[in-house]
Structure 1
Amino acid sequence: MAHDHNYYNALIAVADDCPVSSSVVPPERAGKPTVATVQYGLLVDKPFVHKQEDVLFLTWFERQDLGEKSAEEVAGLRAEFFAKPKPCLRTSPLAKQYGWGFAFNAEGFLKLCPVESAEYRELLDDDGVKTIKAMKASR
């Protein structure tokens, strides 16, 4: 059985050393999408559409510039992608630099949650929601 890379009833909280106190839309760099801009684009208007695995793979896929691929080819690339361990969204620049938490529901689907929002504070205080801190920028 394949390893499940998803979280359930959880919040990936912003890193303790996140430089912003309210969420910021990540900028592109040199006109190219960054990990942060791709993840933001996947999630900003689509709450609870993707699981962590989808976000990780689609972020990688979009940044590869592979052109059109068939569903079979994409499935093969996805299997190859997850054949090796991957860092989870705790390493996402959205949670480390830009003030976005990731809220996961019981089915493992996620949405962005701005650090300044009432919903974010409620999730932090909810005993039924596991809080996992994003990785710090510095060790």
Structure 2
Amino acid sequence: MKTTNYYNTFIEVAEDCPVTTAEVPPLRGEKTIANIEFELLVDNPYEFTSDDVLFHVYAAKRQLRTKEFEKEREQFFSKGQACFRSSPLTKRYGWGAHFDADGRMAIYAVESEEYQQFARDKALRQIKAMRSKKL
């Protein structure tokens, strides 16, 4: 099974992120990937891994029943999945993602003191979110 989990890592917002202050992803009709990720992470810091969040989005978008989760999760991760560097939260909405030693994650607004502390922390692996536009 492939994984998207990070450990002791901080994902900074993308270099071409269009905001300097983090935004809550707007809700327009059906929930988007960004809406689902944001709600899950803002209400539950350090409760979920990246794999948990990505599968939750997949399950929510497909309206899977709980009894299908184990089989569907195994199938979902049998193929490589895009990691959290490609999340709209880190690319577009101005949220950095911190992963602790157990791979559990939390998000931080780009303008926050916590974000700045994580971005300067030499003990963490520092990576940037993927750019939206090619150079």
After the TM superposition, which parts of structure 1 deviate over 6 Å for at least 4 consecutive aligned residues?
Answer: none
Q: What does residue 34 of structure 2 align with?
A: 36
Q: Which amino acid aligns with 1:6?
A: N
Q: What does residue 69 of structure 1 align with?
A: 66
TM-score by length of 1: 0.92
**Would you say the 8 A contact 2:16–2:131 is kept in 1?**
yes
How many residue pairs get aligned? The number is 134
**Would you say the 8 A contact 2:99–2:105 is kept in 1?**
yes
Q: Which amino acid aligns with 1:44?
A: V
Equivalent-residue separation in structure 2 for 1:35 and 1:4 (angstroms): 19
**Would you say the 8 A contact 2:2–2:79 is kept in 1?**
no
SS at match of 1:44: helix
Equivalent-residue separation in structure 2 for 1:5 and 1:44 (angstroms): 19
Stretches of structure 1 that go unaligned for 5 or more consecutive residues are none
Residue 45 of structure 1, CA deviation: 1.4
SS at match of 2:43: coil
Supply the RMSD in Å over aligned alpha carbons. 1.0
**Would you say the 8 A contact 2:7–2:103 is kept in 1?**
yes
Question: What do the CA deviations read for 1:2-59 (whole angstroms, capped 9, x no partner)?
Answer: 3442111111110000000011000123x10000000001101111000000011001
Question: What do the CA deviations read for 1:72-115 (whole angstroms, capped 9, x no partner)?
Answer: x2100000000110000100000111000111111110001111
TM-score by length of 2: 0.95
Stretches of structure 2 that go unaligned for 5 or more consecutive residues are none
Q: Which amino acid aligns with 1:103?
A: H
Q: What does residue 18 of structure 1 align with?
A: 17
Percent sequence identity over matched residues?
A: 42
